Amino acid sequence: MEEIIGLAPSGSMGSGYNLDAFERGIAAHPHFIGQDAGSTDMGPYYHGTGATFLPLATYRYDLAIMLRAARRARIPLIIGSALTSGANVSLKQAVDLVHDVAREDGFSFRMAVISAELDKTDLKRRLRQAPFESLGPDPLTPETLDRCGPIVAQMGVEPFIKALDAGAEVIVAGRACDDVIFAAMPIMKGYDHGLALHCGKILECAGLSAVPCDLAEPLLGRVRRDHFEVEPCHPAHRCTTVSVAGHSLYERGDPCLQPGPGGMNDLTHTVFTQVDERCVKVTGSRFVPDATYRVKLEGAEHLGFRSVVLTGIRDPYMIAALDGLFTEVRDRAEKRFRLSDKGVHLNFSVYGRNAVMGKLDPGAGVKPQEVGLLIDVVAPEQELATGVAMFVRGTLQHAAYPGIVNTAGNMAYPFSPFGLPVGPAYRFAVYHLMPLADPCECFPMTIEEVRN
Amino acid sequence: MTTTLESLAKVIRSKNAGPFELTFDIMFDDAASYERVKKSGAINVHAIAGIYRVRADDVLVCRPYDPAVAFKITIRRPVGSGDITDRDVYGCQQHVPLMKIEVP
């Protein structure tokens, strides 16, 4: 049958996967293995530092299984957003892991490495030509760029197609839009852009769109001329019209209009049909190209250094008095450290009350039996952050409040040490659309013949 | 007789849609419950703005999606994911107030 079969081992590299199901996926003779390896989901720290979310050994474990299977079956292995932020520092780490596994197993192959990190001087030049549309943060300025860690752009299908055209058997790419990792080969072979991207959107989270839903369960996608089909590899798992349609919504703002590099995927007329108990067929998804090709930029600005103290409070009178105590201790910390002058942020989060939802919490009005208190400080220097956090905890430890019965201290520490330096703190400050003349122009590719 | 959304829906979830939006999916395993909620009009921009105490302008999407037998709601995040005062980096624990929506 005329089709391109993609195998998605897991929704996130490093999550591990069901090996029996993976082997069943390989037995279906996929044309490629695709793996998403990054996201903004874990917050700005990883984009700010370029650090990986998981230890390298965890990624290596998943990589070795995929690389062995891909080489055995002689099919491309396509990895996107390596690793976490997809910046050059972590891309290099991913490439090193590929070399390491290849050496161990004696594999030889052609590898394409595609960078997604932008040169800041070039970015500033582009910014002078036309402002970039914001998708949330303040307008972008050269100063913001200077405060940021690496800036990456989400690549579209084009750089992947270029790599496949060059005969790459392994592709390791920096930041990429998740669905394009799986859409590149079908689109290269002339299949419908909208169907390929929609299938990619389902595959990028692997078994999350099946029942039971599990990110670590492999999923197969078959893109054909006028439809695609998705099916979990686990024989007891099922894709249903509702699970697949439901996943089409996942992490997307609008159910029907899903913007990506170079255009919008329109699911308004998409139809989901149950083929058999485990397989769903999808038709009608349509890609509408933008007049100007734009890519999404991502970057996180450095705010200072974070130190925290985690503690628990059981005493009911202290719990009742907390808000007043916070005001009092903030005043004392202000006098002692001049927090506002120095740009120190001091936040209290009361777990058991409203820490999780903050402003969005409608309030339950139930008195908690105990609460967890997170004292969270972000300051220009790490020492100062720890100093403020420890001053605040010391003051609260022996604070007096109405009805106090225990004068030996009213905060319980889960472990020693108390003051934890967390490291640099960041905020997403770059989440903007940048126009490109050529979809590959800021995604340089190198081809390497790996020989062992 | 009115009932709560949680007794009719199978899935009520929240998640980031990028670092600056929070998105909610309300999914059903039977068409009748979905149709009942849809016909009731209980899920609308003003109800959502009221529940989360945000401006109606900050409710970016609020609509049923028949193919998934689901409702989609997206609001602007009060603070970006992982920013200094954010306490839910994934945005995955903001769904609870939706559970208590009254459906006639």
What's the whole-number mean pLDDT along residues A347-353?
96
Strands A228-232 and A152-153: what pairing? unpaired
In chain B, positions 22-41, which contact chain A (CB-CB < 8 Å)?
A: 23, 25, 27, 29
Q: Is the pLDDT of residue A45 over 90?
A: yes
B69/A355 CB distance under 8 A: no
Q: Which residues pair with residue A227 across a beta bridge?
A: none
**Residue A242: which of B17, B54, B68 has the nearest Cβ?**
B68
Contacts of B50 (CB under 8 A, 6+ apart): none
Report pTM. Answer: 0.95
Q: What is the pLDDT of residues B33-89, one digit of tens each?
A: 999 999 999 999 999 999 999 999 999 999 999 888 999 999 999 999 999 999 999
What ipTM score was computed for the predicted complex, to two decimals? 0.94
Mutation pick from A42, A241, A243, A254 vs chain B, by most beta carbons of B within 10 Å, is A254
pLDDT band at A16 (very low <50, low <70, confident <90, very high): confident
**DSSP strand E in B21-81: where?**
21-27, 59-65, 70-76
Which chain B residues contact residue A135 at CB under 8 A?
18, 20
Q: What is the pLDDT of residues A18-33, one digit of tens each?
A: 899 999 999 999 999 9
Among A443, A88, A98, CA closest to A296 = A443
Distance from C-alpha of A439 to C-alpha of B20, rounded to nearest angstrom: 25
Distance in Å, alpha carbon of A255 to nearest chain B alpha carbon: 7
Distance in Å, alpha carbon of A430 to nearest chain B alpha carbon: 10
A427/B84 CB distance under 8 A: yes
| pLDDT given at position A115 | 98
Q: What is the pLDDT of residues A184-195, one digit of tens each?
A: 999 999 999 999
A347/B84 CB distance under 8 A: yes
**Residue B84: which of A136, A345, A356 has the nearest Cβ?**
A345
> DSSP H helical segments within A338-381, as ranges?
339-342
**Residue B60: which of A246, A253, A427 has the nearest Cβ?**
A253
| pLDDT given at position A359 | 87
The three-state secondary structure class of A334 is helix
Tokens of A415: 């472990």
A245/B60 CB distance under 8 A: no
Q: What is the pLDDT of residues A143-153, one digit of tens each?
A: 999 999 999 99
Mean pLDDT of chain A: 96
Tokens of A348: 């209290």
**Residue B90: which of A41, A250, A357 has the nearest Cβ?**
A41
Distance in Å, alpha carbon of A252 to nearest chain B alpha carbon: 5
Q: What is the pLDDT of residues A200-255, one digit of tens each?
A: 999 999 988 999 988 889 999 999 999 999 999 999 999 999 889 888 888 888 88
The three-state secondary structure class of A72 is helix
Q: Is the pLDDT of residue A365 over 80?
A: no
**DSSP strand E in A203-344: where?**
219-223, 228-232, 257-260, 263-266, 271-276, 279-283, 286-289, 294-313
A357/B25 CB distance under 8 A: no
Which chain A residues contact residue B17 at CB under 8 A?
251-253
CB pairs under 8 A between A and B: 132
B25/A250 CB distance under 8 A: yes
Element housing A80 (H / E): strand A77-84
Distance in Å, alpha carbon of A17 to nearest chain B alpha carbon: 22
Among B57, B59, B48, B53, CA closest to B98 = B48
CA-based torsion, A332, A337, A343, A345: positive or negative: negative
pLDDT band at A104 (very low <50, low <70, confident <90, very high): very high
Q: Is the pLDDT of residue A88 over 90?
A: yes
